[in-house]
Amino acid sequence: MSNWETIIGLEIHAQLNTDSKIFCGCATRFGDEPNANTCPVCLGLPGALPVLNRRAIELGARAALSLGLHINPTSIFARKNYFYPDLPKGYQISQYDQPFSANGELEIMTAERDEAGHPLEWRPKKIRITRLHLEEDAGKNVHEGLPNVDRYSYIDLNRAGVPLAEIVTEPDFRSSWEAYDYVNHVRRSLQWVGASEADMEKGNLRCEANVSVRRVGDEKLGTKVELKNLNSVRFMQRAIEFEVARHIKTLESGGTLRQETRLWDDKATETRVMRSKEEAHDYRYFPEPDLAPLVVSDEFIQNVQSEMPELPEARRKRFMDQFALSFADASQLVSDRTLADYYESAAESSGNPRGAANWIRSEVLRELELRSVSADQSPVTASELASLIRLIDEGKISGKQAKDVLVEMFKSGKTAQAIVEEQGLVQLSDSGEIDALIDEVIAANPDQVANYRSGKEALIGFFVGQVIKASKGKANPKVVNERLRVKLLA
């Protein structure tokens, strides 16, 4: 397989997070009664005129800026003509030769994965983004869950006219994992700046992959296949892997590939043909006569920029500089914006950024995952976590006690201080009491004492563990360590 090179380009459709549609005032709410959110404009009735939603432009600009794209001062809406039952006008309003935004270069972090799916080495990779353009979504044909679906198809136009940003890349990906890491990067960026919910399960982020292979050293691109119906990032990655293997197998056995659109079937874990290129559309684009050219001023872009939060990559770098975090730690903490805010607040109010990172990455994330909530919905706020960290740092409770206290904080919603007082938790730091425990441990383990005294210093860990166990987890490990070294050599 190493004689072959994989070439992938991606198209993402992201629903912009507006309350109303792009060319009319109808709501964009998900899950409403079919056709409840429609009007003459999005039903495509004759004579109805589109009016551009300013908020869609602002969010489109946020999306473009978050991906490092250049916004064109003038862009043109165009009609993309085709017939389909969920498209009552007979055309979709999109953009064609003068898109909203173009010519971007995005740096992502990517890694190949081992058999178990664990990342190998993370490395930066530049992806060229050809364009980001604005368009309206089509409606939806419904073939399930309604009366007589064996005889009828139903049309729901609630989604018709919902604003989308279509983001198209150059064929710059060389593996399915690069594509996977890119889509996750884009999803996070769009969520981070509030441009889109970017939730693939709700269908407000959809992606398509163009996949081909060629022999290493060949200039010419191989026959490409378009993959659709990729309902999660993981499905997309699997579908690409399947296609690459299929292409190579076909070509190595002397077969030929057809240019076609294929769908991923996750149950069967394979792709199957949806349509061949012979049925491809000619969309006969022309400028939309009912909309003026979209002119975007520098001032508008500066305003959008000034309202945007610090972007994830910048924040990761700042966390590494300001809080001395590793790349891996900082990357995890900026994996979503609410988590990054939570961390920063806990780091500052505890005065222990390293400790805050450790607690969040292990205990707090586990508790949040158990409850399926994000950091901003955490029952334990960042400042309450910071209070807990201070109790440890001041030597009032041990790290082991703190783990139990945190679990209790999540369960009961009480503060760390209240739980510590209620349960009478105190860390044992009194050297007299610790000495008494050490004496017991020394008396009970004469062989290990002899070994330690003859030079096996690594045994100190064993003794610390025994003393802490004897104290039922209350003994201050620092004091135990100091006193043990004195008493073992006495």
Binding site for Zn ion (CB under 5 A): 24, 26, 39, 41-42
Q: What is the DSSP string of 153-198?
A: -EEE-TTTT-EEEEEEE-S-B-SHHHHHHHHHHHHHHHHHTTS---
Q: Residue 39 or residue 251: which is nearer to Zn ion going by CB? A: 39
Distance CA 405, CA 399 (A): 10
**Kind plus residue range of the DSSP H or E element containing 431:** helix 431-444
Taking the alpha carbons at both ends of the chain, their separation in whole angstroms is 66
| Residue 42 beta carbon to Zn ion: minimum distance, rounded to whole angstroms | 3
CB 459 within 8 A of CB 448: yes
Distance CA 389, CA 266 (A): 45
* Bridge partners, residue 163, by sequence: 136
| Residue 45 beta carbon to Zn ion: minimum distance, rounded to whole angstroms | 10
Helix, strand or coil, per DSSP, at residue 240: helix
Q: Residue 157 or residue 195: which is nearer to Zn ion going by CB? A: 157
Q: Residue 42 or residue 167: which is nearer to Zn ion going by CB? A: 42
Q: Residue 42 or residue 239: which is nearer to Zn ion going by CB? A: 42
How many helices, marked H, and strands, marked E, lie in the chain?
16, 16
Distance CA 463, CA 452 (A): 10
| Residue 300 beta carbon to Zn ion: minimum distance, rounded to whole angstroms | 25
| Residue 89 beta carbon to Zn ion: minimum distance, rounded to whole angstroms | 12
| Residue 43 beta carbon to Zn ion: minimum distance, rounded to whole angstroms | 7
| Residue 295 beta carbon to Zn ion: minimum distance, rounded to whole angstroms | 24
Q: Residue written as tokens 């930066």?
A: 124
Q: Residue 51 or residue 221: which is nearer to Zn ion going by CB? A: 51
Q: Residue 20 or residue 130: which is nearer to Zn ion going by CB? A: 20
Distance CA 209, CA 248 (A): 17
Q: Residue 25 or residue 461: which is nearer to Zn ion going by CB? A: 25
| Residue 49 beta carbon to Zn ion: minimum distance, rounded to whole angstroms | 12
| Residue 288 beta carbon to Zn ion: minimum distance, rounded to whole angstroms | 16
Helix, strand or coil, per DSSP, at residue 142: strand
Distance CA 396, CA 56 (A): 53
Q: Residue 91 or residue 323: which is nearer to Zn ion going by CB? A: 91
| Residue 362 beta carbon to Zn ion: minimum distance, rounded to whole angstroms | 49
Q: Residue 155 or residue 301: which is nearer to Zn ion going by CB? A: 155
Output the six-digit token pair for 161: 């006219």
| Residue 96 beta carbon to Zn ion: minimum distance, rounded to whole angstroms | 23
Q: 54-66 vs 298-307: helix axis angle to the nearest 10?
A: 70
Distance CA 243, CA 261 (A): 12
* Bridge partners, residue 119, by sequence: 113
Identity (one letter) of the amino acid at 331? Answer: S
Distance CA 213, CA 243 (A): 9
Q: Residue 26 or residue 225: which is nearer to Zn ion going by CB? A: 26
| Residue 358 beta carbon to Zn ion: minimum distance, rounded to whole angstroms | 51
Q: Residue 15 or residue 176: which is nearer to Zn ion going by CB? A: 15
Phi and psi angles of residue 476, each rounded to the nearest 5 degrees, phi first: -75, 115
**Kind plus residue range of the DSSP H or E element containing 386:** helix 382-393
Residue 407 exposed, middle or buried by CB count within 10 Å (0-12, 13-18, 19+): middle
